[in-house]
Structure 1
Amino acid sequence: MPLHQIDVSKTIIGDFFGEGVTIFFLIMGFFFFNNSSLKRLLTKIFKTIIIPALSYIFVAQILSRWVYGESNLVQSIIRPGFTLENISGIFSWDASKIHLGSRLWYLFTYVQIAFWFPVLHYFVREGAQAGKVRKYLLIMSGITVVLRDIQKIVSFDWGIITWYSVIPMSIFIVILGYEIYQNAGFYMVIKRCFFVV
């Protein structure tokens, strides 16, 4: 490809599957709804994700000045780098506000998905009504994703076009994963037909 040209297909694929997190949430949709107890799910997440993440945040703030060479270890422990913005980041689900914690966004998103579990469970039950609601959510969110990605490549003179979606993108990906898993047989037939043609 000539220099300074955008490879549209790679840009779209890279945007959708960036860092492998999207693939993880897609696969998560395959198995997430095997959980039958919200209490058990939240207990597990609290023990394996929330407590370790909060412990990391706490230790990172205590040792941050020492890690950056701004003070020795003892001074760093005596005067830790806690700020109101760190606390705000935890309660606003914004990991970018947490010093040395910006990469925790992935865990924050995972916990948010778990909190959605009771609502999502209604969308994945058997029955025509649940199927219609699920497909409606997927279509609305799918339009949002397509419009967002197109506008990363093409800018319109009249400004940014937005679309309405009632669920976050992470939830959309989990539901999409569930839908793909439930229709795996159908997709295998399509795949075979594609390769035959």
Structure 2
Amino acid sequence: MVKDYPKDKKITEPLKQQILKIVEKYHNQVDFVTISSSLRFGMNYDNSFDELKKGTYYNCVRKNDYITPEGYLDGLEVVKMDYRKLYDKYKGIDNVVFIVDPPYLQTVSYTYKNYWNLTDYLDVLDVIKSNRYFFFTSNKSSLLELFQWFEDRTSHANPFNGATQVSQKKNITYQSTYTDIMLFK
């Protein structure tokens, strides 16, 4: 419905109503977080049809397919379970790399099913102490500054010492930005 509509431009009310009619027809089968990520700016995710009806829409729909290179993940075992059980099962094994992507500290996390508190955030850092990892956060979390503060003022080492950091600036809206951060070792 928006394929010919300008990218990142506000969708008119009549077109929004057409979109809502289709979504309402299939509302029991809709992933509202995914739909809202294509129609809203700034990570304004919706969890229900009622929430989706309220927002202002923009054409944020991805125009090209995701690429799936043949054979890229051959030989890789992907495991999904509670991180504590996963860590206990695989810690210290040489050919294991942990993907650590907790909810970003100090960001909206209502799309997650479980509440994630500071203690959980700190506990997950056990994963990176002696294992290879990719760890994701953002500058909004102030996590890197927090650990640098601890290292500078206490006897605790910064858990990210020796990690490589890659950052990418993201636009939430035309006026608001944040920086995605990936650390790996």
Q: Compute the TM-score of the two structures, normalised by the length of structure 2.
A: 0.23
Q: Which has the higher helix share?
A: 1
More strand by share: 2
Mark the structure with the bigger radius of gyration: 1
- Which structure has more RCO (C-alpha within 8 Å, separation ≥ 6)? 1
| TM-score of the superposed pair, with normalisation by structure 1 | 0.23
